[in-house]
Amino acid sequence: MADQHPLQLRSALISVYSKDGLEPIIRRLHELQVALYSTGGTQTFIEKLGIPSTPVEDLTGYPSILDGRVKTLHPAVFGGLLARREPKHLEQLQQYNIPEIDCVIVDLYPFEETVAASNDPAEIIEKIDIGGVSLIRAGAKNWKDVAVVGSKDEYGFFLDVLNNQEGAFSAEQRRELARRAFKVTSNYDIAIFNWFNEGTTDIAFKYSIHRSDMLRYGENPHQSGVFFGDFEQVFDKLGGKSISYNNLIDIDAAVQLMREFQLGKPAFAILKHTNACGIARRHTLLEAWTAALACDSTSAFGGIFITNTTVDLATAKEINKLFYEVLIAPDFDLDALDLLRKKEQRILLKIKSFDVRSRSFRSLLNGVVEQDTDLKTETEADLKTVTTRTPTPKEVGEMLFAAKCVKHLKSNAIALVKERQLIGMGCGQPSRVDALRQAIAKAKSFGFDLTGAVMASDAFFPFPDCVEIAAEAGITAVIQPGGSVKDQESVEACNRLGLAMVTTGFRHFRH
């Protein structure tokens, strides 16, 4: 069978938008005596290299027409790509004087880039590639007899095979190229659909959805998992093992958290099972890391680490002492990266942007719910003092820091903050009192003095008991959304105990 034997390339059709990285492929194909066919700008590019190439027009008998919309759409091209290498098909190729085409190399018009850069519908429409997609699909369909390159991202893989195997592609390699090629065309079609679909509520394709097979497994090893999204749009993966479902969930939580702290002094956060167990902001990254780790050095083991600034060598040396799953940063100094890469299983991600989608989805029962992403970050203008005592400027800053922290803990949630450090947290508890007691116990277990700390709650206090417990622990100021019919009872408790309280009007449940 043809698919059981290597395919030795004898001919290749090349029609690409991006020429970056193409030259070594052209030269290597020429060295291997592979006959080249090409179109338009690709033909000109090859000619400038001094390498012979047959224009597609010589195969079809037609020039490029309709402003380049039709160049390769012809039986003389697609017959050579789609013919199975078996007597019946080969006889038809010979009958109609159609050459076999063993390889097709395509890079599509940059549709998504054009959409991002232009508001001109006519310009965008012209970047919908027709012939290129058809060539890719034809070559991929006939992978048993054809090697297909569907995008410039595959140039490197293709060139490696050319160099290492003298242009002979195994069945496994041809099938892998076909798999990647169909991924290219499916993503391309989704991008086009999304543009036409703008303004609709079609959940399945609301956003640009790219299928990726990057997940090691689902939530547990016996569950398979696939990520639909463009991971590379957000991150450059600099090292480490492949990413699992749980990694991805935690990474998303980490990005959403650090989005709150991306500006200003160095900040460091440590997350475990999507909850922040350590957050701190300091004058240097090393100080921020040290303070974040001190919040809960036990839970930090095997956690997700994220910062808002470049990781330097001094900080990398300290981080490297602890086992972690993922480290995320806007950049890494080269010597820091060299050190961190020595732990080959630890995932290193360079984040390109802390932006998150304005809409979010979740599968429930036999459907999906869609909602606005919680992008609200409280500022001083949102604070309403409801107690007799007005918080000090320092307490206001601490409370705003605490509000950012509590927003990213599972409900019911309490965050205790002192000196821009999350010294205690309680989350996922059935009652707010339980969450507060957990936060106080955690803070004390790691040696923190709660005197002068502030408390943030993700939702209102239905009773004054949390305020009373907080005051007894030494907490002096409270930030909460308000909205309970019994708000005044908590306010009166603060007045009686000397605490300052502000309300924000914004609840931040996380279920």
Q: Report yes or no on 167 lying in a domain.
A: yes
Residues 343, 402, single domain; the answer is no
Domain boundary among 171, 196, 221: 196
Cross-strand pairs, 13 = 37, 104
The answer to whether 416 and 475 have CB atoms below 8 angstroms apart is yes
Which residues fall within 8 angstroms of residue 148, CB to CB, at 6 or more apart?
103, 104, 106, 136, 139, 140, 174, 177, 178, 181
Considering only the C-alpha atoms of the chain, give the largest distance between any 2 of them, rounded to a whole number of Å: 99
Residue at 225 is within a domain: no
Residues 244 and 156 in one domain: no
Range of 316's domain?
A: 235-351
Helix (H) or strand (E) segment spanning residue 454:
strand 454-457
**If DSSP codes are grouped into helix, strand and coil, which group holds residue 196?**
helix
Whole-model pTM?
A: 0.65
Are 139 and 146 in contact by the 8 Å Cβ rule? The answer is yes
Does the annotation mark 152 as catalytic?
A: no
Contact, 105 vs 17, CB < 8 A? no
Reported as a single tens digit per residue, the pLDDT across 411-449 is 999 999 999 999 999 999 999 999 999 999 999 999 999
Q: Is residue 213 part of a domain?
A: no
Q: Are residues 314 and 394 in the same domain?
A: no
Q: Residue holding tokens 């069978």?
A: 1
- 258: domain CATH number? 3.40.140.20
SS (H, E, C) 245-287: HHHHHHHHHHHHHHHCCCCCCCEEEEEECCEEEEEEECCCHHH
* Cα angle, residue 347 at apex, residues 346 and 352 outer, rounded to 5°: 155
**What gap in Å lies between CA 460 and CA 482, rounded to an integer?**
5
429 plus 331 within the same structural domain: no
Question: Is residue 42 domain-shared with residue 128, that is, in the same domain?
Answer: yes
Same domain, 175 and 56: yes
Domain boundary among 308, 336, 351: 351
**In the chain, which stretches have pLDDT less than 70?**
1-4, 198-214
Q: CA nearest 303: which of 345, 343, 273?
A: 273
DSSP of 22-49: THHHHHHHHHTT-EEEE-HHHHHHHHHT
Supply the pLDDT for residue 86. Answer: 85
Residue 71: active-site member: no
- The answer to whether position 511 is within a domain reads no
Same domain, 394 and 334: no
Catalytic residue among 265, 273, 343, 376: 273
Domain count, the chain: 3
* pLDDT tens string 103-146: 999 988 888 888 888 888 888 888 888 888 989 999 999 999 89
Q: Is 419 helix (H, G, I), strand (E, B) or coil?
A: coil
Q: Do 243 and 346 have their domain in common?
A: yes
Residue 364 lies in a domain: no
Residues 337 and 461 reside in one and the same domain: no
Instruction: Establish whether the linkage from the previous residue to 412 is cis, with ω within 30° of 0.
Output: yes
Same structural domain for residues 31 and 135? yes
Q: Is residue 209 part of a domain?
A: no
Which pLDDT tens digit goes with each residue over 170-184? 989 999 999 999 888
Whether residue 244 is contained in a domain is answered as yes
The reply to whether 332 and 415 lie within a common domain is no
Catalytic residue among 30, 74, 141, 444: 141
Tokens, residue 199 = 């303004």
- Which among 196, 145, 156 has a CA at the least distance from the CA of 180? 156
Domain co-membership, 110 together with 45: yes
In a domain, 358, yes or no: no
Residues 6 or more apart whose CB falls under 8 angstroms from that of 344 comprise: 239, 240, 241
Cα 482 versus chain centre, distance: 35
